[in-house]
Amino acid sequence: MPTAAAPRALIDAASELILGKRSRIELALTCLIAGGHLLIEDVPGTGKTTLAHVLARLFGLDFRRVQFTSDLLPADILGVSVFERDSGGFRFHPGPVFTQVLLADEVNRATPRTQSALLEAMEEHQVSVEGETRRLPEPFFVIATQNPASQIGTYPLPESQLDRFMMRLTMGYPDPAAERALLTGRDRRSLLEDLAPCADAAQLTRWRDEAQALHVADALIDYVQALIAHTRDGGRYRLGLSPRAGLALLAAARAHARVHERSHVLPEDVQAVLPAVALHRLPPLDPLPPDDAARMLLQAVALPH
Amino acid sequence: MMFRRTAKAAPDLPPLGAQRTGWLLAVAASALLPHADHLPGWLGAVTLLLFTWRLAQWKRGWPGASGWIRTLLIVAGCAGISLTFGRLFGREPGVALLALLLVLKLHELKSVRDGHTVVLLGYFMLLAAFTYSQTPAMAALLFAAMGVITAALIALTGPPAAPLALLRQSGWMLAQALPFMLVLFVLFPRVPGPLWGLPLDAHGARTGLSDSMEPGSISQLSQSGEIAFRARFDREAPPARDLYWRGPVLTEFDGRTWRQGTAARRTGGTPPHPVAGPRSGYEVTLEAHGKNWLFALETVAALPAGARVSDDWQVLSGDVVRNRRRDRFESVLAARPGIEEWSAHIDAARRLPRDGNPRARALAAELRRQSGSDAATVDALLRRFRREAFVYTLTPPLLPGADGIDAFLFDTRRGFCEHYAGAFVFLARAAGLPARVVTGYQGGERNSVDSFIVVRQSDAHAWAEVWLPAEGWRRVDPTAAILPSRVERGLADLAAGEPVPFVARADLGWLRTLRHRWEAANNAWNQWVLSYDQQRQRELLSRLGMAQPDWQTMTAWMAALCGLMAGALTLWALRRAPGRDALARAWAGLDRALAPAGLGRAAWEGPLDYAERVAAARPDLAADLRAACTLYADARYGGAPLAPAAREIRARSRALRCHRTLHHR
């Protein structure tokens, strides 16, 4: 197993598979290092599953996928205790949530009850089934997807649940050059199978610890506070960023700085993760296209001197 | 819950946070505090109640006042105010109404706009408070309140910050305004006379002398420590026993009350008779007292323009003294005016009621017979006062309405100056001498700090004047015969057990010094701030060396000084404001080096992103700029030492500045 790889090497490796999406890959990796969960909103076929697969594969992590449907029950995710005649007792059959990377596809198709079962597991890193609490494996990383195009028969995640995702990304269509390379290149699935892990869970934990230990200057905290204050008092949003969102922003900025091999966190790190971390938690008073919304937020707050 | 309600009420306006609401409560408190002593009692209670309620809502989450309660309160409040004052317009009801509106506005704070309303109302309340009181203490209080309100204004418009930081910022802003205030105050051309006066009801009932005298009217004044006027002499002040400040002269007597006579109503712009002798010049700063009397020493020889003097030597102003005023007089202290007195005035000074006080009349006739001459009669009367067991007291017993002078002279023998003066004049007239009562102030306390003579209401005094054919009007002070120290040292030496006015006590030395200091400060404030008029302005400016302080010169100076200060502040702010430390200044310097070439940094742009953006556009600047930006990022965000980084950034900025111009197209 290769060790001491740089995060950049992982991004390079993933970019060979997922073409033209380097910034998304970087953010997804940042989210993983920061210990958060990821929500991807996009139409089907834009590489959401591939992204989840690639990340799991590069770290050599277990990967499970659950397709959410309206009849999915909490037990279908968490697991269930079954009576076994041989042993004469109940045995717990763990559900798909007991994995390291979980792809929850079309999470908004399931009922709020099932959604909240997953979201609680995400938050606590443990599940309670029939009175017994079971730890989930570490690392535990959920990539949930939502299809914004078809809203019929769905249960959109409420704001309080959205807040539990550290980041929200959209994949977007590839640019023409990437599209062409995709059309002429090898089959993605076989490429994925050939992909060798560049790191392992221990490496991920190390990066996580290193990100935690990065120097954060007062000036940076000032900046983060100014951003949060702007969302609360700036008059542009119906609801400002929560303290949890503030923590998530700083954690994501630390991870981003670690991905870029910096010894301290820069405003650039905050700005790089800000749209992904903040926009899904900020219901705007007048909706804007995502790019405009991101620019509006970034450019509204001056850096401290 | 809270949030949803505010959001529903004002969907398109930014809501107030809890911190800003707290600031607005502070605004209301500091705007209402200066009005505490003149709001009607019931309104003060209502205001306090509503404020406490709102405070509890803010602090403890109590429910707020609903719309109909507010409507009810405003209707009831307006009704109460118009009942209390009889009207809804004017200063008093206006201020009361504003106080009510201000606390009610606190109960409907939804958006930042409501906050601005409260802040503006707060500023206005401070201005209104100045129409009630202009003392230095009030000015200090209002200045502090202005600091709080300005901090609230900053909290409303700026990002959230700690309360102390906001107060510091507001204090700093006000301090910056201070030099402008001073220059405008000193140099703004003044027109003679008030441009706009205080409202007529600005000064309510004042204590002071009245135009009639009956037993008890002056002893009431003796308990008041209020300052009547201050005087400053050109040279050394005369001793206190010579300071007789002449007020209303009372000639007519109806058996009980002394009133002014015809001589008081005949006035002229110059003294009725020429006064010869050495003159003392002095300036009197008279407090507003609601009458048209001015107080000058006996005997006045020169008047300020516009003042008049009556035939009985009382100085009068053109109209009622509603504002503090300053006048210059000259007096001859040893003069005996009126050798050539109109016979009508002398006759008026002889008149007595037809009957009453038979014992006094008999005594006067007896003394007159014994002494022979007029002058000897005066001495005999004084001797009588000195020899009999008369007691000088501030709390004399009540005298009967009829034959009061008899009762005083022969039964009670306890009295205050008005008793002695009245009884003396009665006796003198009964003995056939023309005599009259003079009221005014006697003595005064020399302030050891600023050397002003301070005359209080407790120095109010009454004495007598007797007209002798050979010498004119001679001043006779029977009180001095009873208790000489009264005219030497004031009231301080009264008999033990007498309720001496607190301010007149002589035993508390340290307290006296403290009071002198405080009054000197008050006086300086009065002299230089409140009475800073055209004349004072001229004096000051010519003392400062301005040759011709006319309004053109002053305006030019004012514009020049304000421009200079604004320029200096701007320059200072430009150099200083972008940052707090050397690194921030160096960083701002880098921006100044590149901004003219259109390569400035956007306020939100991170240092490394900025370097890359400019490097892409101007590769020739890339090396220096990248180095400078990395240094900045390392120092500001990475914990590297600031000073060397700042130095290096300055060096790179210089290089970039040269480069920028060299290569600039």
Backbone angles phi, psi at B549, to 5 degrees: -75, 65
The packing angle between helices B619-638 and B642-663, to 10°, is: 160
Is the CB of A305 less than 8 angstroms away from the CB of B578?
yes
Give, as one character, the DSSP assignment of residue A94. Answer: E
Tell whether B180 and B238 lie within a shared domain.
no
Q: To the nearest whole percent, how much of chain B has pLDDT over 70?
A: 88
Q: Look at residue B61 and tell me if it is in a domain.
A: yes
| Most distant CA atoms of chain B, gap in Å | 123
Is there a domain that residue B203 lies in?
A: no
Cβ atoms of residues A166 and A34 within 8 Å: yes
Both B450 and B492 in a single domain? yes
Judged by CB atoms within 8 Å, which residues 253-282 of A form the interface with B? 263-268, 271
ipTM score assigned to the predicted complex: 0.84
Token pair 């004119």 is at which residue?
A: B472
Q: Does B158 touch chain A (CB under 8 A)?
A: no
The shortest CB-CB distance from B633 to any of A239, A266, A299 is to A266
Which range (A233-242, A269-278, B242-251) has the least confidence?
A233-242
C-beta of residue B126 within 8 angstroms of C-beta of residue B142: yes
What single string gives the DSSP state of each residue in A261-297? T-SB--HHHHHHHHHHHHGGG--BSS---HHHHHHHH
Given a cut of 80, whether residue B502 has pLDDT beyond it is: no
CB B381 within 8 A of CB B432: no
Q: At what angle do helices A267-278 and A290-299 cross, to 10 degrees?
A: 140
* Mean pLDDT of the region B412-433: 87
What φ, ψ does residue B328 adopt, rounded to 5°? -110, 130
Q: Are residues B159 and B260 in the same domain?
A: no
Same domain for B261 and B150? Answer: no
Report how far apart the first and last C-alpha atoms of chain B are (Å, whole number).
60
* Beta strand pairing call for B435-442 and B244-253: antiparallel
**What is the residue type of B328?**
R
Q: Are B221 and B207 in contact (CB under 8 A)?
A: yes
Rg, Å, chain B Cα set: 36
Task: Tell me how many domains chain B contains.
Answer: 3
- Please tell me the pTM assigned to this model: 0.49
Q: Which of A232, A301, A305 minimises the CB distance to B604?
A: A301
Q: Residue B204 burial (CB < 10 Å; 0-12/13-18/19+)?
A: exposed
> For A29, phi and psi rounded to 5 degrees?
-65, -40
Catalytic pick from B35, B406, B417, B624? B417
* Within a domain: B520: no
Together in a domain, B32 and B128: yes
- The winner for highest mean pLDDT among A28-37, B8-17, B483-492 is A28-37
Same domain for B166 and B223? Answer: no
For residue B236, the enclosing domain spans: 212-353+433-504
Domain presence at residue B627: yes
Under the banding of pLDDT at 50, 70 and 90, the label for residue B8 is very low
When pLDDT is cut at 50, 70 and 90, the band that residue B6 belongs to is very low
Domain shared by B161 and B42, yes or no: yes
pLDDT of residue A4: 53
More confident residue, B141 or B320: B141
H helices within B86-135, ranges in order?
91-106, 112-130
Residue B297 shares a structural domain with residue B179: no
DSSP letter at B188 equals S
Angle at the Cα of A207 from the Cα atoms of A201 and A212, rounded to 5 degrees: 130
Residue A140 has pLDDT above 60, yes or no: yes
Which residue of the set B35, B203, B289, B461 is catalytic? B461
Give CA separation, A18 vs A54, A55, A191, A210, B310, in Å.
9, 11, 10, 27, 109
The answer to whether A244 and A277 have CB atoms below 8 angstroms apart is: no
| Residue B590 to residues B238, B292, B594, Cα–Cα distance (Å) | 71, 70, 6
Q: Is the peptide bond before B11 cis (omega within 30 degrees of 0)?
A: no
Which helix or strand (DSSP H or E) is residue B482 part of? helix B478-482
Q: Which 49-108 residues of chain B touch chain A by CB within 8 A?
A: none
Residues in A 197-256 with any Cβ partner in B closer than 8 A:
215, 217, 219-220, 226, 229-230, 232-235, 238-239
CA B156 – CA B120 distance, rounded (Å): 12
Residue to test with chain B: of A266, A274, A295, most B Cβ within 10 A: A266
Examine the domain organization and report whether B453 and B592 are in the same domain: no
B154 and B120 in a common domain: yes
B630: closest CA among B606, B664, B597, B607?
B607
Identify the active-site residue in B312, B477, B624, B659. Answer: B477
In a domain, B553, yes or no: no
Residue B347 annotated in active site:
no
Residue B289 lies in a domain: yes
pLDDT-based confidence at residue B191 (cuts at 50, 70, 90): low
Evaluate if residue B121 carries a pLDDT over 90: yes
Domain end marker among B484, B504, B524: B504
- Examine the domain organization and report whether B45 and B128 are in the same domain: yes
Whether B609 and chain A come into contact, CB under 8 Å, resolves to: yes
Active-site residue, B461 included: yes
* Residues of chain B contacting A226 with CB distance shorter than 8 Å: 159
Pull the structure tokens for residue B245. Answer: 């400040």
**A8 at the B interface (CB within 8 A)?**
no
Mean pLDDT in residue range A80-101: 85
Assign B505 a pLDDT band (cuts: 50, 70, 90). Answer: low
B482 within some domain: yes
* Inter-chain residue contact A303 with B579, CB threshold 8 Å: no
A-chain residues within 8 Å CB-CB of B634?
A: 264
How sure is the predictor about B119, in pLDDT bands with cuts at 50, 70 and 90? very high
Q: What is the pLDDT of residue B30?
A: 94
Tokens standing for B323? 């504002």
* B106, B49 Cβ separation under 8 angstroms: no
State whether B14 and A265 contact (CB < 8 Å): no
Round to whole Å and give the CA distance between B553 and B558.
Answer: 8
Nearest to B619, CA basis, from B557, B555, B565, B663: B663
Q: B571 lies in a domain?
A: no
Q: B interface mutation test: which of A223, A233, A297 has the most B CBs within 10 A?
A: A233
Residue B308, strand partner residues: B316
> What pLDDT is recorded for position B1?
36
- Taking the C-alpha atoms of residue B159 and residue B23, their distance in angstroms, rounded to an integer, is 14
Q: Which of B448, B478, B504 is the last residue of a domain?
A: B504
How close B200 gets to chain A, by Cα (Å)? 47
In the 8-state DSSP scheme, what is residue B595? Answer: G
**Do B132 and B224 lie in a common domain?**
no
Which residues have CB under 8 Å from B396's CB, separation 6+? B215, B216, B219, B408, B412, B414, B415, B416, B419
Of B504, B521, B546, the position where a domain reaches its end is: B504
Mean residue pLDDT across chain A: 85
**Known catalytic residue: B406?**
no
Is the pLDDT at A187 greater than 70? The verdict is yes
Q: How far is CA A175 from the centre of its chain?
A: 23
* Nearest to B584, CA basis, from A104, A218, A29: A218
